[in-house]
Structure 1
Amino acid sequence: MTKERINEWSLLRGLCFLAVVMQHSIGEYIYRSDIMPADSIMLGMLYHFTRFGTLTFVFLAGAILFYQYGGGRSYRPVLWKRIGDIYVPFVVWTIIYWLTVRLSNHQPLFSKESVSSFFQQLIVPTNGYHLWFVIMIFQFYMLFPAFRWLARQFRTHVLQQHSPEEQRKRIVWMLIVIAVAYGWLMWLCYYVFPFWDAGGILQTLLNYRTSEFGFYFFYFILGAVCGSAIQTWRETILRLLPWTTLVFLGMYIWLGYDLLQHSNDAIDLNVSTYLKPTTFVLVVSQMLLMYGLAILLSRQQHAITRFLQWCGRYSFGGYLSHALLLAAVASWTRKLVLTDLHLLTTVLTFAIVAPAAIALTSLLSRLPGGQWLTGSAGKRKKSKSTQSTSPRSVLGAK
């Protein structure tokens, strides 16, 4: 069965990758002791422009899975392929970051403590601080059959035997109900769970909630709606573009004020954690806004579009490798006196690390065995929109 190639997804992946690199570049410089208040505030404001990146990858996972397999195609062989394309590179890069940290700190590689620390990194990555996302997103790939079953039940018992217009209304109400429930969960995450001593296994689950799929399910469901009705989704996104822009601007001002109000001598980015109700509204509005932008960009072919397509194609390997390149740049900048230059240095670091990570992934993907470092990026030949396509997974692996 032939399927249309969804060009805006590649552009959206590219935008998400750039947003993630900018976030991590900001995190490298905003907490330095010699930063001036003006730079600190500007970096905090720039940070909110990039909040959509990570969670939009969750949205794309739902969109891609339901677009390809929501109709009932066999998923088991695809799951095994996902393990090779996503989880194996995660393990390889976990080893790379573990070795880098151990060697840079002159710690032994072969000892009881070192072996224990390595296996801990496979569960709770800290050496590669960004790798938590791979663990979290892979949970959605594992549980996709359950999400697909729920979608079938919804279609059978709620949508069936209704007109298309009535079906759209019911889907909108379903999203509103789920959004309210998710917003309540975010309120609990931010205002209740940090002070709740549940004890036992429940306390462990709450302590690691930032890496658990259940605390990001709304974005996946929103993506499922997109992937299940792509044409209607596109029309709706473009129609709502003025409103999503207004909501984003309002939330951007609100969260900027909140960030300044709750930061003392230095800006504390943890005020805007993903598991916060206001951040949830900001991210959703920004996500829909960026999707609309991606649709408009996909209708043209110019340098920006080609660059974003390049970033989108190699975004998985770029995501895995960019923290290592950022650390290399930071090892040099930490020796410099950057008073009044932290904003400029952050932007320059981003401008170096982002394209370098994509270029590195492009190079590695062409080497023998490169798929163990980059997934299947670069191995798949480009196809025309009229040909049968298999949109890549959330971070760019096929």
Structure 2
Amino acid sequence: MKSVREKLSEVQLVRAMAILGVLSVHSTSFATLAMKDSNYYILYNFFNIFTKIGTPTFLFLSSFVLFYNYASRPLDKRLIVNFYKKRLKYIIVPYCLFSVFYFVLLHVIHYRDRSLEETVMKFIMQLATGKAYTHLYFVFISIQFYLLFPLFLWLFQRKPIIAKWSVPLGLALQWTFILLNKYFLQVPNKGSWSLSYMSYFLLGACIGIYYPKLKAWLNVSRENANAGRIASWIALWSIGLAAGLGHVYVWHNTRLNGIQYNSLLYELLWNVHTYAFALIAFQIAHMLHRHGWSWLNRWMKRLGELSFGIYLIHPFFLLVYRMFPPHTSISQLHHLWYAGGFLFALVCSWIIVALAVQILPHSWLLFGNIPARKPQRPITVAASNH
């Protein structure tokens, strides 16, 4: 295993795809409730469900980056201290500040009559559980993975055979939790707990540790093609597409027709869909890097670099945007308004985060470790943020 590994430009491209997925889900969430009488409801439901790859892909990618960079390094006190210093500085501090921001925002809008004691206790509970705003659960889950990371790194370094079995181990841990929760535990907000995403965490660990061996399989190209790889590529894309469309279909029936399926079916389709697309996103990133337009690669690379900041701030712009719905019976304008929400959140978030990085000397307090834009910079990345 190499002690120094190459920087991967594909990482930022995957991040870009993940944040676009997050924005698609969040910008269509209201439409899935309000547009049920529309002939285009099938599209709203499709974009809301099929693009749910965002958060799982971010979690997979976070684990990949951690294990890719740390797996071959000695696990000692210095490594652990530096690791947690970086997470505290670039992840937890922005999380806390944005938790305060959203909590105060919602307090002013909805809870002005709440007592001071109740307000303080509510904030402490929400900060401790990632509930200050709906999207912050992702950072809460990431923090849980950061707490687990040294333990898994130690285990994989001491017992490499376990690292080789990390993919089935992750699936077993996640589905054991899902089944126990359904029939016995019934944990509230189970989606805010790391065990619900353990398959992605250990998939990222496996790919990160064995990336030099798996790179040829992840890089779909003529020179890497052989009968076995072609068959596995077709299988992966077919399974991902089938599960994704099945995921869309069951939610369409549930939302529009009131049909309720067994909760395990929703879990299974979501898991297979997002699990496959975490890998497919890596393959697409390789193809874009090799064959995509240079302007598209530069645009997506920068979007990937800004993605953590965009993730944190974009719900604010959606909240503002939704204060001005169209007052018209013309359906086309409603469709344009919903599409405009996606663009408004993306563009405004991008501008604010990019300007902050360029102008504010301590922008990391808000948006984490984002590199300032440098012209003519080669497309390489340093592992950070997610």
TM-score band, normalised by the shorter chain?
A: 0.7 to 0.9
Q: After superposition, give the CA deviation of every residue in 1:65-101 in whole Å (9 maximum; x if it has no partner).
A: 1111112342321211211110110110111111111
TM-score, normalised to structure 1, is 0.82
Contact 1:31 1:266 (C-alpha < 8 Å) held by counterparts: no
- Secondary structure at the aligned position of 1:314 is classed as helix
User: Which of 360, 376, 381 lines up with 1:367 in the alignment?
Assistant: 360
Alignment of 1:191-210 (within 5 A): 193-194=181-182, 196=184, 198=185, 206-210=187-191
Over 3 Å counting, the alpha-carbon distance change for 1:11 and 1:347 in structure 2 is same
8 A contact 2:36–2:256 mirrored in 1: no
- Please show how residues 56-205 of structure 1 align to structure 2 within 5 Å: 56-73=57-74, 74-105=79-110, 107=112, 111-155=116-160, 171=164, 174=165, 177-178=168-169, 181-182=172-173, 184-185=175-176, 188=179, 193-194=181-182, 196=184, 198=185
Q: TM-score, normalised by structure 2?
A: 0.84
C-alpha change, 1:381 and 1:147, in structure 2 (3 Å) is: farther
Q: Cα–Cα, structure 1 residues 306 and 211, in superposed 2: closer, same or farther, change >3 Å?
A: same
> Size of the alignment, in residue pairs?
366
Q: Cα RMSD (Å) of the superposition?
A: 3.0
Say yes or no: does 1:212 pair with 2:212: no
1:217 positional shift: 1.2
Corresponding residue number in structure 2 for 1:230: 211
Is the alpha carbon distance of 1:125 and 1:142 closer, same or farther for their aligned partners in structure 2, counting shifts above 3 Å? closer
Match of 1:13 in 2: 15
The offset of 1:149, in angstroms, is: 1.5
Secondary structure, aligned partner of 1:31: helix
| Structure 2 residue ranges without an equivalent (≥5) | 221-228
Percent same amino acid among aligned pairs?
A: 24
2:341 to 349, 357, 382: 349
- 1:221 is matched with 202
Which of the numbers 297, 303, 308 marks the counterpart of 2:295? 303
Q: Residue 23 of structure 1 aligns with which residue?
A: 25
Residue identity matched to 2:308:
F
8 Å Cα contact 1:4-1:385 kept in structure 2: no
Match of 2:224 in 1: none
Counterpart position of 1:288 = 279
Q: 1:321 aligns with which of 307, 313, 322?
A: 313
- Higher relative CO (Cα under 8 Å, sequence separation at least 6) belongs to 1
Distance between the aligned counterparts of 1:183 and 1:371, measured in 2?
33
Is the contact between residue 14 and residue 281 of structure 2 (CA under 8 Å) also seen in structure 1?
yes
1:272 to partner: Cα distance = 8.8
Q: Is the 8 A contact 1:15 1:53 kept in 2?
A: yes
Instruction: For 2:39 and 2:297, locate their aligned partners in 1 and report how far apart those are by CA, in whole Å.
Output: 33
Please say if residues 251 and 278 of structure 1, whose CA atoms lie closer than 8 Å, have aligned partners that are also in contact: yes
Q: Please, which runs of 5 or more residues in structure 1 have no aligned partner?
A: 160-170
Could you report, residue by residue, the CA deviation over 1:10-62 in whole angstroms, capped at 9, with x for unpaired residues?
Answer: 10001101110110011122212x54243322211222331211001111111
Q: Which runs of 4+ in 1 moved over 6 A?
A: 270-275, 380-383
Q: 1:340 offset after TM fit, Å?
A: 5.7
Check conservation: 1:12, 1:294, Cα contact below 8 A.
yes
Is 1:263–2:255 an aligned residue pair? yes
CA deviations on 1:204-245 (whole Å, 9 max, x unpaired) are: xx2232111122111111111221122322212234433222
Cα deviation, residue 257, structure 1: 2.7
